[in-house]
Amino acid sequence: EVKLVESGGGLVQPGRSLKLSCAASGFSFNDYWMGWVRQAPGKGLEWIGEINQDSSTINYTPSLKDKFTISRDNAQNTLYLQMSKLGSEDTAIYYCARGGGFFDYWGQGVMVTVSS
Amino acid sequence: DIQMTQSPASLSASLEEIVTITCQASQDIGNWLAWYQQKPGKSPQLLIYGATSLADGVPSRFSGSRSGTQYSLKISRLQVEDIGIYYCQQASSAPNTFGAGTKLELK
C-alpha cells in the first residue's frame, strides 16, 4: 500500500523557517518524481513544485522559488520542503504527492500556521 | 505561466443527474490535464489523467474529454459520494497550475 506521511508542521513566527518531511512507503521511492502542493484555509490548491528521481531537476512555482527548497533522500525514502522567510500568506495545509506532472497519491497533509 | 479557467465555480445538481465541469487552458497543453476530487477534510484524489484516462479505482461514471484547449469532466449519474470540490490541473509545463475549483453540491 502506498503511504505518504507528512510531518514537521505547526505554529511558526513570521520571518522564521520550517522544514517539512514526507515519509514514503509501499513503493519504490527512487523511481518516482515527487511534489508538494499547498492549500490555504478555505482556498484552492496551489502547486509548489516537484523533484525528479535523482534530484537533477527541480521545478518551482516562480513566486515561491526564492523561499522554498525541495529536496529528497532516496536512502531514507523521504521528501523535504524547506521553507524560509515565512509570512502569514504561507499558512496552509501542505501536501506531498507522488508523481511528476499528475499526482496519483497524496499524503494526508500537514498544517503550517504562521503567526506571532 | 499557463492559466486554467475552471467553470462553474459552484454547481448544484440532483442525484442521477449528468454533471459537466470545464477547464479552459490559456495555451495548448495537449493531453496534459488531470482532474481531482477533494472531499471535505480529505486530501485530493486523482480521477482522470491524460485528459481522458480513468485513474485506478475510479468509478466508470466519471469521464474526461478534450476539445482543443477546453477540457471537460463528466459525471454520468451523480451519486451522493460525488459531492466535493473538483480541480483541474495542467502538467504541460511548470508551474503545473490548478484551476480554481468547482464546488459540487446536492440539490
* Residue B101 · residue B10 · CB < 8 Å: no
What rounded mean pLDDT belongs to chain A? 97
- Rounded to 5 degrees, what are φ and ψ at A90? -95, 0
Cell of A75: 536512502
Instruction: Please list, residue by residue across A16-47, b when 16 or more beta carbons sit within 10 angstroms of its beta carbon and e when fewer do.
Output: eebebbbbbeeeebeebbbbbbbbeeeeebbb
pLDDT higher than 90, residue A80: yes
Q: What is the pLDDT of residue A37?
A: 98
Write out pLDDT tens, residues B89-103.
999 999 999 999 999
Give me the percent of chain A exceeding a pLDDT of 90: 98
Write out pLDDT tens, residues B10-22.
999 999 999 999 9
Q: What is the pLDDT of residue A100?
A: 83
C-alpha A64/C-alpha A97 separation (Å) is: 18
The shortest C-alpha distance from A10 to chain B (Å) reads 18
Q: What is the pLDDT of residue A5?
A: 98
The residue type of A108 is Q
Cell of B103: 464546488
C-alpha B81/C-alpha A59 separation (Å) is: 35
C-alpha B5/C-alpha B25 separation (Å) is: 6
User: Does B98 touch chain A if contact means CB atoms closer than 8 Å?
Assistant: yes
Write out pLDDT tens, residues A90-110.
999 999 999 988 999 999 999
Residue from the list A49, A102, A107 with its beta carbon closest to the beta carbon of B46: A102
pLDDT higher than 90, residue A26: yes
The A-side interface with B (CB below 8 A) comprises 37, 44-47, 49-50, 59-62, 95, 100-109
* pLDDT beneath 50: ranges in chain B: none
C-alpha B98/C-alpha B2 separation (Å) is: 9
Q: What is the pLDDT of residue B45?
A: 98
Q: What is the pLDDT of residue A101?
A: 87
Q: What is the pLDDT of residue A111?
A: 98
Cβ–Cβ of A102/B91 closer than 8 Å? yes
The shortest C-alpha distance from B47 to chain A (Å) reads 9
Cβ–Cβ of B95/A106 closer than 8 Å? no
Q: Which helix (H) or strand (E) holds A60?
A: strand A58-60
Cβ–Cβ of B98/A46 closer than 8 Å? yes
Residue from the list A44, A60, A61 with its beta carbon closest to the beta carbon of B100: A44
Cβ–Cβ of B99/A44 closer than 8 Å? yes
Write out pLDDT tens, residues A40-56.
999 999 999 999 999 99
Cβ–Cβ of A108/B43 closer than 8 Å? yes
